Every structure is written in structure tokens, then in C-alpha cells.
Amino acid sequence: MVRVKLLGTGKFLPKQYTSAEELDLRLQKPMGTVLKTSGVQSRYFVDGETASDMGFQAATRALSAAGLTLDEIDCIICASGTKEQAMPSTASLISEKLGSKARGTPAFDIDCTCLSFLVALDMMSYALDAGRFEKIMIISTEIASVGLDWNDLESCSLFGDGAAAAIFSCTPDLEQSKILSSSIETYSEGAHLSEIKGGGTKYHPRYFLESDGAPHLFCIDGKKIYKLSAKVLPEFVSQLLKQAKLTIEDIKLVIPHQASLPALKLVRKRLNLGGNQMMITAPKYGNTIASSIPIALHDAIYENRIERGDIVLLLGTSAGLSIGGIVLEY
Amino acid sequence: MVRVKLLGTGKFLPKQYTSAEELDLRLQKPMGTVLKTSGVQSRYFVDGETASDMGFQAATRALSAAGLTLDEIDCIICASGTKEQAMPSTASLISEKLGSKARGTPAFDIDCTCLSFLVALDMMSYALDAGRFEKIMIISTEIASVGLDWNDLESCSLFGDGAAAAIFSCTPDLEQSKILSSSIETYSEGAHLSEIKGGGTKYHPRYFLESDGAPHLFCIDGKKIYKLSAKVLPEFVSQLLKQAKLTIEDIKLVIPHQASLPALKLVRKRLNLGGNQMMITAPKYGNTIASSIPIALHDAIYENRIERGDIVLLLGTSAGLSIGGIVLEY
């Protein structure tokens, strides 16, 4: 049991709303192709916004929702699967936009691809509980669109851009908010099932141009990921619930990473979830990488799907291949 | 006070030993230029090794030094300022090389540029103390050379490649090892003083080729970093020592990030350090980004510069600009 309380969330979607039909046109596909392939009706693409711009907006909104000012935040973590620049951390670029009130506040990045938000919350919860920080802000901000291969219908019909931020404190005395259990597992036999080979030191952009087989674009083997996820998911969740001394019926809402519609169906089926027991935002935003869990968490709060005292399960898989979960009393 | 014990370290340097004179030749500069500019006599550059190759080697050596096997490690953190691929985490690529015994062990990245190792140790120490993990491995593995601008003498004479790994546990009962105090501060007015603009989502490699002003190469304004560091360092260390209830005389060895020889002289002068009170490895390896602190820590142990019970100060600045320190009883 780790004493952590969610104080407020903020969400930011970039300007360029793109419906499935607009994407059909752009991809020169028969009308209906994108929706049929991905189940994603709409997504938002950046139109000039940077990751730190979006992170800044989400952070500002989270502060407002929590009724806090920036000088009350003791640590800024950017938890994203994509970076704005190879160096420095995206957190320091967001800090720069936040301005002088963020001066001196530690800022760094945590990356577990789509699970970055979940991993950051899990790891930082111990620093909060121990009193190292009073209040922290975790920001996920993702631009998937710039790395999409527009010839790969599966991935380019699925992903969207967006950001979300969440502020956490140690739980005040006499309050009940807490993490009941948490777990992360990495199965690196799946390390190359979804990846962007380039951009880092291995296939460095100075040597690899577009003619070299587009190493800078995202590629995914959805079928193999599905298979590996399906294999590890049930036992993973069973252990997580056991550790929290709960059953799946105790979970008010499962907030999964919005990997894809088939992935969400898999979660629903394998966990035997009731009709209203899972948050589904993929049709509205697509898969927004690490920001998909905090965006769904934000929407769950604003749509009154959860209230204080409810038990929530954050859950997902990510490139790596990792699986992660947090059972949280909101 | 956080109960953390360092169980073992490992270091790996890539094949291509390069003396200052060899670099003079390569850069077509008068003999002595590189040494005079940087004070770095030798550095090691990769010759085919990837970041995960080096991280794997360092990890294997750390396991051997600690007398542990991989299945005893509960979490693998890659704490580096550079990534091997844009996606997934370098930790999962190292996990892949470590093989089936790493199966299921969580693997993710923490990035605070040159301070990544220090930040990872600081943050993960609370998870260790709380019993979330029994033993963790933090690996820093850096390939600086691929991103160097060979026309910028200041940076290309300074940097080197290399990796180090360190294994930590919660301190067993009746033992004294601990973190006495730790701190990180980010001053993002310095966010662009050292950076690689490209490689991420802002200047994406698919659009930016070498002709576009080389956005994928490292650039640094050493003078401004020196000035900002000099301004924040003395008060930062003073607070860190105060928190640990120690004075600088209690520190057996300062293990600083090997940013540059002038930076090391600044630390020595501002902290009023004795002749043998600081670990200096920059002349042998150059600045190896985040691996420079754990490489220096490794050398300090193997050269018997520290023994159990000694108080060590890990200290450095990083792109961001961040400053970080840990007072550790080894």
C-alpha cells in the first residue's frame, strides 16, 4: 500500500481534428477503409504544436483543476514514449515553457513507451510516500503522427497526438486514496514487435536518410503483440488483484492503454469485464502512446465515471514488450 | 535517510582507443591541439558496438562483481542521455541481450542527460527502501561519438563512449550503507545550452537531412553552462551537506560528472576540496555523458579510493540545465 492521491488532471489535444473519412481521402483509400481497419473515428494531429507546447498546456490545465500554482510542484516528470529532441529531456523543455516559477524544480523523463505514465506513477509513488516530494506532476505528451508510415494502413489509421498531465501528492492523514498494488513486467523477446529503429545512436539520422528503408518510421507487428499480450495478461492481472486482495468485481473502472480496438476487446474478454467497467477512448483519439492512459483517466473523472473511493485499474502493454498495472483507490 | 547499498559495479569501454594525438590527426589539427583544448588524453569510441551491447557487457560484469545472477535482479533501469533507438527503451534492448533470465523483469529508461544515473539512483532508492524491489540494476550506456560535430573542436575533443552498471539493494539489517541526502534542481533557462535539436518529434529525421544545418549533432555553449553552474553549485552543495548533517571535510571522495576539466576545477575550487578528495577520470575517458559518474564510481572502488563506511558525494550538472547530488555512505 502506497499513500498517493491524485489531485488533478489536464488534457490537451492539438488543433488538427481528423476524421476517419478525412484520413481515407488523404490516404487515397475507399471511404470507410480507415474506420474499418482501426475502429478510430477521429484523432487529433499536431499542426505546428510541439510536444513541450502540448505538455505545457496539459500541465497548466492540471494545475488549475487541482487548484494549485506551479511553485507548489516539487518535481516535473515527462513520461512519454517519444521525445521532442534527442537531448535534453522533454521535461526540461516543458519546464522552460512553464517559466520562472518552475525554476529549481527537478525535471526529467521516464520512458517505458506506452506505459511511461503508469511506470512514472508507480516509481514516483514511493518518493511521495517517503516524503521526498510533496507534490509531483507527471506529463505525457506524444506526437505519433510525425513518425507514421503513411503506407502502413494498420498504424497510420490507429495513432493520434495528444497530451495529459496529472498531479499527485502523498495522501493526507484521514484520507483513503492509495495504490493498492502495482506491477510491471518486460518480455524483451517482443522488443522489436513495435519500434522506431532510427533517431538514436544505432541508426543515427546523420547517416540514414529516407532512402535507407525509412528507419525513422514506426513499425508494428500487431498480430504478434496481440498474441504475446494475450498470453501474459490474464496471469498478470490475477496476481495484481491478489496482491491488492481484490477481485475483478471490486474494480469500478478499468482504464487501459488504448492500444487498439482488438486489444481493448482482449482485455474485456480475458478479464470478464461488465459492460460499463472499461474506459474506451480509442475511437475518439486513437492510440496516443503514453498519453492515452492519463487522457482516459482525465475523461473518466470529467465524465463522472469514477468518484473518490472508487477502485480503478490502470493497465496496458507497451513496446518493449512490457505489461504494467496499478490498482488505485481514487 | 534512505537504506540503499551498492552491491557491485561493472564498466565497459568500446574497442576504439583514441589518443589525443590520433584525434589531432583525424581532425587535421596541429599536434597537441586536442589535449590543449580539452585536457582529455584518451577516449574510447565505438567500432560497431551498440549502446545495448555495451550495456549488456557492463551489466554482466556488475553481476559478477556482486556475485549475483540475473534472476536475482528485480528491475533493470537504463539511465542514459542518449538512446539506441527512438523506440523502445534502451533498457528493453539490453534486457533482450541479457536473454531469458531477464524475462519478466521490468525494464525502462530514466533520462536526465548526464545526471541520468544519479537521478535513477535517487528516485529508485525509495522503491528499494519500501521493499518494492529487492535488487535493481542501473545501467548507463552512452555513444557520444555518433552525434559529435567534428568541426566543433570544443565538443569533439571532449567526449567519449562507454558504459557502466551498478547493482543496489535495500541495506540489510545491522549494516550502515545509506543515502544521507539527495537533491536535484533544474534551471531550464539553460535548456538549450547543450542539446541535440534533432532525432525527436520536433526536427524529425524524415524531414531534416544533413543540409538543414545539422540539427542532429550535439552543440554546446560551454561558457554559459560554466557560468550558470558556478552560480548555483555552492549553495546547492551547502544545502545537500546541511541536510546530511555533514561538512565537506566528512566527504572521503567527491565523484563528479566528468563534464570537462574546467568544470572539475570549478567543483574543486568552489567546494574547497583537498588534493585527493575528488575522482578525476576525464583525461582517460573524456566526458561519457551519464556513464561518467558510474564509471568513476567503479574506478574509485577498484582503485581502493573508497571503502565501506566512507562518505561519497556524487555530483554533477547536465543538459536541462540540471544539477544533482547524492551523499552516500558506501
- Please indicate if any CB of chain A lies within 8 Å of the CB of B106: yes
Cell 519478466 found at: B104
Give the pLDDT score at B280: 97
Give the pLDDT score at B108: 98
| B209 vs A42, residue with greater confidence | A42
Peptide bond connecting A321 to the previous residue in cis, omega within 30 degrees of 0: yes
Q: SS in 3 state form for B195-244? A: EECECCCCECCCCCCCCCCCCCCCEECHHHHHHHHHHHHHHHHHHHHHHC
> Does the pLDDT of residue A213 top 70, yes or no?
no
- In chain A, the percentage of residues whose pLDDT exceeds 90 is 89
Task: Inspect the interface and report whether the beta carbons of A196 and B85 lie closer than 8 Å.
Answer: yes
Structure confidence at residue A284 as a pLDDT band (50, 70, 90): very high
First-last CA distance in chain A: 13
Average pLDDT over residues A121-129: 98
- Please indicate if any CB of chain A lies within 8 Å of the CB of B124: yes
Considering only the C-alpha atoms of chain A, give the largest distance between any 2 of them, rounded to a whole number of Å.
61
- Please indicate if any CB of chain B lies within 8 Å of the CB of A147: yes
Single-letter code of the amino acid located at B236: F
Looking at the partner chain, which of A103, A187, A204 has a beta carbon nearest the beta carbon of B103? A187
Task: Inspect the interface and report whether the beta carbons of A206 and B216 lie closer than 8 Å.
Answer: yes
Task: Write down the H helix ranges in A244-328.
Answer: 261-270, 282-285, 292-302
A221-233 pLDDT, tens digit each: 988 998 999 999 9
Protein fold of B5-169 = Peroxisomal Thiolase; Chain A, domain 1 (3.40.47)
- Please indicate if any CB of chain B lies within 8 Å of the CB of A127: yes
Helix (H) or strand (E) holding B169: strand B162-169
- Catalytic: B192? no
Q: Are the CB atoms for A287 and A142 separated by under 8 Å?
A: no
Residue A325: how many other CB atoms lie within 10 Å: 27
A74-107 pLDDT, tens digit each: 999 999 999 999 999 999 999 999 998 889 999 9
Chain B residues whose CB is inside 8 A of the A187 CB are 103-104
Structure confidence at residue B29 as a pLDDT band (50, 70, 90): very high
First-last CA distance in chain B: 13
Residues B316, B303: Cα–Cα separation, whole Å? 21
How near does any CA of chain A get to the CA of B79, in Å? 9
Chain A residues whose CB is inside 8 A of the B51 CB are 200-202
- Please indicate if any CB of chain A lies within 8 Å of the CB of B9: no
Torsion of CA A229, A230, A233, A235, to 10 degrees: -130
- In chain B, the percentage of residues whose pLDDT exceeds 90 is 89
Length of chain B: 330
Query: Which of A1, A53, A80, A85 is the mutation pick for testing B, counting most B CBs within 10 A?
Result: A85
> Does the pLDDT of residue A209 top 70, yes or no?
no
Nearest-Cα residue of chain A relative to residue B141: A201
- Catalytic: B114? yes
Same fold? B5-169, B178-329: yes
Chain B residues whose CB is inside 8 A of the A204 CB are 146-147, 216
Domain coordinates in residue numbering, chain B = 5-169, 178-329
Residues A256, A327: Cα–Cα separation, whole Å? 12
> Does the pLDDT of residue A211 top 80, yes or no?
no
DSSP characters over A153-188: HHHHTTB--EEEEEEEEPPPTT---EEEEEEEEE-G
A/B interface, count of CB pairs below 8 Å: 274
Give the angle B297-B302-B307 at the CA atoms, nearest 5°: 75
Looking at the partner chain, which of B89, B185, B320 has a beta carbon nearest the beta carbon of A88? B320
A56-69 pLDDT, tens digit each: 999 999 999 999 99
What are the residue numbers of the active site of A? 114, 257, 287
Considering only the C-alpha atoms of chain B, give the largest distance between any 2 of them, rounded to a whole number of Å.
61
Task: Inspect the interface and report whether the beta carbons of B322 and A146 lie closer than 8 Å.
Answer: no
Chain A residues whose CB is inside 8 A of the B92 CB are 186, 188, 191, 319-322
Task: Write down the H helix ranges in chain B.
Answer: 20-27, 33-38, 51-66, 90-98, 116-129, 153-156, 222-243, 261-270, 282-285, 292-302
Single-letter code of the amino acid located at A22: E
Give the pLDDT score at B204: 87
Among the four given CATH numbers 3.20.20.70, 3.40.47.10, 3.40.50.1100, 3.40.50.2000, the one describing domain A178-329: 3.40.47.10
B82-102 pLDDT, tens digit each: 999 999 999 999 999 999 888
Give the pLDDT score at B294: 98
> Does the pLDDT of residue A214 top 90, yes or no?
no
Say if strands B162-169 and B135-142 run parallel, antiparallel, or are unpaired.
antiparallel
DSSP characters over B21-68: HHHHHHHT--TTHHHHHH---EEEE-SS--HHHHHHHHHHHHHHHHT-
> Does the pLDDT of residue B128 top 70, yes or no?
yes
Mean pLDDT of chain B: 95
A129-172 pLDDT, tens digit each: 999 999 999 999 999 999 999 999 999 999 999 999 999 999 99
Give the pLDDT score at B212: 59
Q: Are the CB atoms for B206 and A214 separated by under 8 Å?
A: yes
How near does any CA of chain A get to the CA of B304, in Å? 32
How near does any CA of chain A get to the CA of B294, in Å? 19
> Does the pLDDT of residue B329 top 80, yes or no?
yes
Nearest-Cα residue of chain A relative to residue B52: A202
- Please indicate if any CB of chain B lies within 8 Å of the CB of A133: no
